């Protein structure tokens, strides 16, 4: 492949050359709704507005708020997170992108990262997200194939010298006399020629044609040789949706998820009519990372994600008889039936070191809704990303800084907290400082 074309969110390409042919194809790139296998509880109803991955101007092309990659006309087009725009090399930004994709899509690749640190470091010297994903796919799949290939029962018709399964009389009575000593039967065969292995085999074949790393080529050829009994045919989106995981093949879930990402990035199949490449909404990714960190860390509390917050006649601003108004904050932390804390996640840079008026208005409306329901003031945390120089002014001890707290006349309070993404470089999800600050707020310290 030619030199990768690198974008950062909301910016022009910083590397690679955009040909007219590539530009024509990028114009049609639209963001699809998140596939079911990668979707948390996310409200996407009413999202009918077309959202393009790239914006085109007279003399330039800009990426929108999505990260991912696509292979277009033999070149890899990457969009990397805006928080890593000021890092020294693309390798670090790609590593952050991999971690964000990994945690969002449920890829269990931490053990591969720990085991293959030197290899991954070498691969990241050449800025390519596709090659690293292919490496993860090959290693994750081979780790499981060495333990045993995936086999299951598949019903087939065959002609045998002995009787087993079901005798197919409609075929048996039509046989000529010289074949009367054999039986036409319908039986279950324990084989590796199943849908999941066909997906793996096909993915290895198409990825091999696009990869240029010798190590990836060797690993993919090994996969092909181990699965050569699987019938190779073109895999489409419907085939991928038909896969069902049970306790016998659950260990192949990570390779399967990586296969889907690679096939989508290669434009081999289209999940929807106008969805190209593999791109995910970075605002949602950051929001989901914070949610998972809270789920793993907070004990004794219920973490509600994208839960409707409805209130009606008890609210002073709503007259009796009016329809119930509902709001959907990002997260609600409850203890029993009491709402203890609301969290609103903002994937943006704080201009002038303070939140925008829109963020404050939105946060205050949530607080008023809760106060109407519980007859007591509440607290809301606005969470912003911190990475390197991005929002670097947010200190590690924001609870001690009064400029990060906004208290209103009715005792409702907004608190600003950073979520440090530096840990993701080492594929570690949880920001311990953030969790400690949340715990202090819940304990009303």
* Digit-coded pLDDT (tens) for 2-12: 788 899 999 88
pLDDT of residue 319: 39
Residue 357, classed as helix, strand or coil, is: helix
Domain spans of the chain? 5-147+201-281, 152-191, 298-442
pLDDT of residue 373: 76
Question: Across all residues in the chain, what is the average pLDDT?
Answer: 83
* Digit-coded pLDDT (tens) for 278-313: 899 999 999 999 999 999 999 889 999 888 776 543
The rounded percent of the chain whose pLDDT value lies above 70 is 87
Phi, psi of 334, rounded to the nearest 5 degrees? -120, 150
> How far is residue 168's CA from residue 188's CA, in Å, rounded to a whole number?
14
pLDDT of residue 37: 45
432, pLDDT greater than 80: yes
**Strand ranges across the sheet with 166-167:** 152-160, 183-191, 166-167
DSSP state of 52: B
Q: List CB contacts of 45: < 8 A, sequence separation 6 or more.
A: none
- We find that the CATH architecture of domain 298-442 is 3-Layer(aba) Sandwich (3.40)
225, pLDDT greater than 90: yes
273, pLDDT greater than 80: no
Average pLDDT of the residues in 231-236: 81
417, pLDDT greater than 50: yes
pLDDT of residue 399: 60
pLDDT of residue 391: 86
Which of 28-37, 38-47, 116-125 has the highest mean predicted lDDT (pLDDT)?
A: 116-125
Nearest to 224 by CA among 249, 202, 253: 202
Give 401's pLDDT tier (boundaries 50, 70, 90): low
220, pLDDT greater than 70: yes
> How far is residue 157's CA from residue 160's CA, in Å, rounded to a whole number?
10
pLDDT of residue 214: 93
- Alpha carbon of residue 43 to chain centroid: 16
410, pLDDT greater than 60: yes
């Amino acid at each position: 492949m030619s030199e990768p074309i690198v974008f950062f969110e909301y910016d022009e390409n910083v590397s690679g050359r955009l040909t007219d042919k590539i530009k024509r194809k990028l114009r049609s790139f639209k963001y699809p709704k998140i596939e079911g296998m990668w979707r948390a509880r996310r409200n996407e109803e009413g999202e009918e507005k077309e959202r393009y991955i790239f914006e085109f101007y007279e003399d330039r092309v800009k990426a929108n708020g999505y990260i991912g990659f696509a292979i277009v006309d033999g070149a890899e087009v990457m969009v990397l997170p805006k928080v890593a725009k000021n890092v020294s090399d693309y390798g670090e930004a790609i590593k952050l992108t991999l971690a964000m994709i990994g945690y969002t899509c449920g890829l269990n690749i931490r053990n591969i990262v720990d085991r293959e640190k030197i290899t991954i470091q070498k691969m990241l010297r050449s800025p390519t997200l596709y090659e690293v994903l292919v490496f993860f796919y090959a290693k994750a799949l081979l780790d499981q194939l060495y333990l045993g290939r995936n086999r299951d029962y598949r019903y087939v018709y065959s002609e045998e010298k002995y009787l087993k399964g079901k005798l197919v009389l409609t075929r048996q009575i039509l046989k000529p006399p010289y074949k009367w000593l054999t039986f036409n039967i319908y039986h279950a065969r324990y084989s590796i020629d199943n849908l999941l292995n066909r997906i793996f085999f096909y993915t290895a074949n198409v990825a091999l044609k696009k990869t240029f790393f010798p190590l990836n080529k060797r690993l993919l050829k090994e996969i092909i040789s181990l699965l050569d009994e699987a019938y190779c045919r073109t895999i489409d989106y419907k085939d991928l949706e038909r896969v069902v995981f049970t306790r016998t093949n659950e260990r192949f879930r990570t390779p399967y998820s990586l296969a889907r990402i690679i096939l989508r990035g290669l434009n081999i199949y289209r999940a929807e009519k106008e969805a190209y490449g593999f791109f995910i909404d970075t605002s949602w990714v950051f929001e989901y990372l914070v949610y998972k960190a809270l789920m793993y860390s907070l004990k004794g509390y219920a973490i509600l994600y994208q839960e409707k917050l409805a209130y009606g006649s008890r609210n002073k601003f709503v007259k009796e008889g009016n329809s119930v108004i509902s709001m959907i904050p990002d997260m609600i932390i409850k203890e029993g039936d009491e709402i203890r804390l609301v969290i609103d996640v903002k994937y943006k840079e704080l201009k002038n070191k303070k939140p925008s008026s829109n963020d404050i208005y939105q946060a205050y409306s949530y607080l008023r809704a809760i106060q109407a329901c519980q007859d007591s003031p509440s607290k809301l945390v606005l969470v912003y990303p911190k990475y390197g120089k991005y929002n670097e002014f947010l200190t590690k001890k924001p609870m001690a800084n009064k400029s990060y707290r906004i208290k209103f006349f009715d005792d409702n309070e907004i608190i600003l907290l950073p979520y440090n993404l530096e840990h993701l470089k080492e594929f570690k999800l949880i920001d311990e400082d953030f969790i400690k600050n949340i715990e202090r707020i819940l304990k009303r310290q």
